[in-house]
Amino acid sequence: MGLNIAKKIITEHLVEGEMEAGEEIAINIDRTLTQDATGTMAYLQFESLGVKRVKTELSVSYVDHNTLQAGFENADDHRFLQSFASKYGIYFSKPGNGVCHQVNLERFSIPGRTIVGSDSHTPTSKCLKLLVWSLPEA
């Protein structure tokens, strides 16, 4: 019997380990997406690693959660996200572009890619047969 679509994608992205049930493996991640509610903390952690640029084919920072500007905090986070994206090679999707799960699906999804996201809606990309891991929201 042949491999299913998920196993085919994993096989194509396998870096380390054997694709056996219960075994740990390492795979290449093609894409990442973050949003402004969790992206700020994720990027501060990334910055502490000392990596010069992202190593994915595409990473996108969406501003679509904390868009209410009642104080300075959200605007400060948005400025940080935009400057961080510019510095590290991340596409910045500014407020008003739309919500990340739909915009990402319409503009950036390519079947057969792997994606890790910090948004609960990252699994929307599964409808195009992307292999998706969604990090839990805090």
Confidence of residue 21 (pLDDT cuts 50, 70, 90): confident
Q: Dihedral sign, CA of 50, 55, 56, 62?
A: positive
Cα angle: 68, vertex 66, 120; to 5 degrees:
145
Report the share of the chain in percent with pLDDT over 70.
Answer: 82
Among the ranges given (5-9, 27-31, 91-95), the one the predictor scored with the smallest mean pLDDT: 5-9
Domains in the chain: boundaries: 5-134
Q: Where are the alpha helices (DSSP H) in 24-120?
A: 36-48, 72-88, 100-107
What fold characterizes domain 5-134?
A: Aconitase; domain 3 (3.30.499)
27 DSSP β-pair partners: 14
pLDDT at res. 131: 55
